[in-house]
Amino acid sequence: MLGICKDEGREIGRTTPQAKLEGGLYIVATAIGNAGDITLRAIETLNRVDVVACEDTRVTGRFLKRHGIDAAFVAYHEHNAARARPKLLSRLGRGEAVALVSDAGTPLISDPGYRLVGACIEAGIGVTFVPGPSAALAALVLSGLPTDRFYFGGFLPTRQAARVRALKPLAALAASLIFFESPRRLPAALGDLADILGDRPAAVARELTKKFEEVRRASLSQLCAHYRDEGPPKGEVVIVVAPPAKTGAATVTAIEGAELDQRLGAALAEASLRDAVAAVTEATGLPRGKVYQRALALTGKAGAGGGGA
Ligand code: SAM
């Protein structure tokens, strides 16, 4: 194995200068907001490589300084990658140890690095990964939506026509869907998601691991209405959307309880009991009888013989 192996039987995570690592490419995940989210192995790796390739030397410089890491930097970002890659490859070819980090989270996940990894593999240069946070998985695990199967869609296209084209093939996918989005485009993106995928349960995860972390869970149309009313949120966001309703009980579980009451309350405020039950049944995929019983309980009609809805 390239790099640091825990089983070497010595202390890991020391930040004092240590021997340089064996040559090769070390892909190192860093925090997505909370600077404490970095592994001991990442710290040790960054301390012991010859150079750290990063998107923005100021961002990474600040982060490494907080951890007492004094590394040499070189810029590797989407605008200079074609020029910077051959230089990195020649350093790697000379036997240097190069770490690749991004501004936040896991490199290569909507961040540069994929071509560099491919070029290293082709050239027979060792590549290893020092794993850590990614906003995509953090949002999925906090969404309350099914995690057994998921599809990561990266950033949605910025223009509406292209966004709609990109979403159509995903409508029948039996998996939770994860998208990165800019806060400014969030209301429009949620609107298109609701139109193309149907009004499914969803979550918007904002500022994960940071002071103002928030996960808002509701249907796509409710989320869209919220952000249209309130305006785009501050900070960084990830959208997670439930699979189509018929894909299994996990979806049902995710929207039971308080959330079912919340959906029914909103629907009952605008529609008759019959229409509210129909709308919530359609949106959630829950059994109609269950939604109906809950609606009766909420409206105080339970036991009043209202079985005709
Ligand atoms: N490589 C990174 C990762 O593994 O998380 C993602 C980089 S991508 C260029 C940046 C996008 O990730 C943001 O626009 C946002 O959608 C999402 N993101 C990153 N950090 C986040 C956070 N703390 N909270 C919510 N979303 C975040």
Residue with the larger pLDDT of the pair 307 and 5: 5
pLDDT tens figures, 47-96 = 999 999 999 999 999 999 999 999 999 999 999 999 999 999 999 999 99
Instruction: Inform me whether the pLDDT recorded for 6 exceeds 60.
Output: no
% residues pLDDT > 70 (the chain): 90
pLDDT band for 12, please (50, 70, 90 cuts): very low
Question: What's the rounded mean pLDDT across residues 12-41?
Answer: 86
pLDDT band for 248, please (50, 70, 90 cuts): very low
SS3 120: helix
DSSP single-letter state for residue 200? -
Rounded Cα–Cα distance for residues 242 and 146 (Å): 7
> How remote is the CA of residue 96 from the centroid of ligand 1, in Å?
30
- Model-level pTM greater than 0.75? yes
pLDDT for 246 equals: 64
Among 28, 32, 130, 178, residue to substitute to test ligand 1 (most atoms within 8 Å of Cβ): 32
Mean pLDDT score of the chain: 90
| Most confident stretch, 5-19, 157-171, 264-278, 291-305 | 157-171
> How remote is the CA of residue 135 from the centroid of ligand 1, in Å?
5
Which residues fall within 8 angstroms of residue 145, CB to CB, at 6 or more apart?
Answer: 176, 201, 202, 203, 240, 241, 242, 243, 251, 254
> Which uninterrupted H or E stretch holds 89?
helix 81-93
Pairing mode, strands 97-100 and 73-75? unpaired
> How remote is the CA of residue 240 from the centroid of ligand 1, in Å?
13
Roughly what angle, to the nearest 10 degrees, separates helices 160-167 and 186-197? 40
Question: What's the rounded mean pLDDT across residues 9-16?
Answer: 47
Instruction: Return the closest-CA partner of residue 136 out of 111, 115, 160, 159.
Output: 111
Roughly what angle, to the nearest 10 degrees, separates helices 258-270 and 288-299? 70
Which residues fall within 8 angstroms of residue 36, CB to CB, at 6 or more apart?
Answer: none
Pairing mode, strands 24-28 and 97-100? parallel
Residue with the larger pLDDT of the pair 37 and 299: 37
Question: What's the rounded mean pLDDT across residues 169-196?
Answer: 98
Which residues fall within 8 angstroms of residue 215, CB to CB, at 6 or more apart?
Answer: 139, 142, 143, 144, 203, 204, 205, 206
Rounded Cα–Cα distance for residues 167 and 161 (Å): 10
SS3 180: strand
pLDDT tens figures, 137-174 = 999 999 999 999 999 999 999 999 999 999 999 999 99
pLDDT for 118 equals: 98
pLDDT for 89 equals: 98
